[in-house]
Amino acid sequence: MTLKGMEILEKSDVVVYDYLVNPRLLSYARRDAEIIYVGKRAGVKEKSQGEINRLLIDRAGKGKTVARLKGGDPFIFGRGGEEAATLSKKGIPFEVIPGVTSASAVPAYAGIPLTHRNVTSSFAVVTGHEDPAKEESNIPWDVLSRIGTVVFLMGVRNIEKNMRMLMDNGKPPATPAAVITWGTYPFQAVATGTVGSIARILKKRKDISSPAIVVTGEVVNLRDVINWYERKPLFGKRVLVTRAREQAEPFLRMLEEEGAEVIEFPVIQIVPPGSYEELDRAIWSVRDYDWLVFTSVNGVAKFFERLIESGKDVRELYGLKIAAIGEATAGEIEKKGVRVELLPVEYRAEGLIEMFGKENMNGKRVLIPRAKEARDILPVKLREMGAVVDVVTAYETRKPGKGVSTKIKKMLDKNMIDAVTFTSSSTVTNFLSIFPEWKPLRGKPALACIGPITEKTLRDAGFRARITPGEYTVEKLAREIAAYFGKSKKKKK
């Protein structure tokens, strides 16, 4: 995906997308955009090309900005040329935004460069299945057999025929060959062999199927040296993230960078409180406080939203001392242009309590905007120190609707998830209330907690956390998960 592609998705009224498009890309679309799936799979009858053309014409004809989202590059075996020609004939203006073709991206993720100056200086990209309506092939097999690297797109079904055609036209049977399925995804699989043997090898590999590409040439041998992606610690691992969607994105990216397939299952929804009256009243008299204490990123976001909506801005906080429970919360505060006065070494309420113990809190007024339901240890201890504490509800957390829980339950029951992550006690409580009968099977999944409070909630429910970082941040949690599975990978080797 290119930056230009993302810009178009962000402003389009309609997004028409294919089977091979990574669903994560749809997150760049506007929330109110019409999302239409028109995917095509080998051997599965879905929308015809004519229907897709008519759909594009219809939506554009209504004055809509339409993004036609395709996998890879739309002009490389993607029928982009056909669709563009149809729009042109109808007088509908369009632009083409090239993508990254799977012909180069997929081999790169399998550790196979298409060219290498010591191996080959040429490559060709060919369809793996020509139109069966053709009377004879128009692929120049005699030329193809002399080219260093040949890439067949969607070539699994016809691999036996295509390899035979190469050999019949002079390609040595011992030429290295590879088949890569679901390339660039965390569950990609690769089979290697030779032009003469790869078809037989594929019959024994249950994990290789469409969508896949075939690569032939000496460059395939370089995979032994530069197979970088499959060596990532979380490659091939499914990690379930239960964090609220509003906060999950950075965590998801960290896990994906380590090679994980991330399953989003937010068990918490951040919703407005029943009434903002309490928070608004505190904001109107915010100058009466000595301390403003934030215990979560969400608390920061909601407080500043209401501050602006009340017609005020950060100047109202002049003279107040600001405390944050952790690094992420402090970062959000500082983005608002406000300096954090107090940040504990240990990112939890107990850490803040210890820091406040060094301050003279007698008679000090403290405002804590937070979730409706949260641990009371901080306000209780501050009052014991002589402070006057006002706790106001800035937001509420709720369990999501049933939605995808059935799909997640099936994956858990089939032992298809390697790790489940918990970033707060409420994620533990909500997850276990959604799946009350669930128990880990044969040590899977590994349960990972952001810190000791979350771990205690899990332990009190009868479960054991295998992963808890020493520093209570999502960055450290992601690293600990990677280290945990990285060790098990090394043991297998």
Active-site amino acid positions:
18, 40, 154
- Residues 6 or more apart whose CB falls under 8 angstroms from that of 491 comprise none
CA distances for 267 relative to 118, 242, 249, 431, angstroms: 53, 5, 15, 6
For the chain, what is the radius of gyration of the CA atoms? 28
Spatial separation of the C-alpha atoms in residues 53 and 238, rounded to whole Å: 37
Reading the block at residue 344, the tokens are 């504990």
For residue 393, the surrounding DSSP H or E stretch is strand 388-398
Reading the block at residue 292, the tokens are 């403003």
Is residue 418 within 8 A of residue 445, CB to CB? The reply is yes
Tell me which residue has tokens 């590994």.
Answer: 446
Tell me which residue has tokens 């089979």.
Answer: 191
DSSP per residue, 337-374: T---SB--SS-SHHHHHHHHTTS--TT-EEEEEEESS-
Tell me which residue has tokens 């858990």.
Answer: 412
349-356 vs 377-384: helix crossing angle, rounded to 10? 10
Is residue 62 within 8 A of residue 40, CB to CB? The reply is no
Residue type, 363: G
Tell me which residue has tokens 């810009």.
Answer: 7
Spatial separation of the C-alpha atoms in residues 254 and 479, rounded to whole Å: 8
Reading the block at residue 212, the tokens are 């896949």
CA distances for 492 relative to 47, 107, 218, 228, 260, angstroms: 45, 25, 29, 18, 18
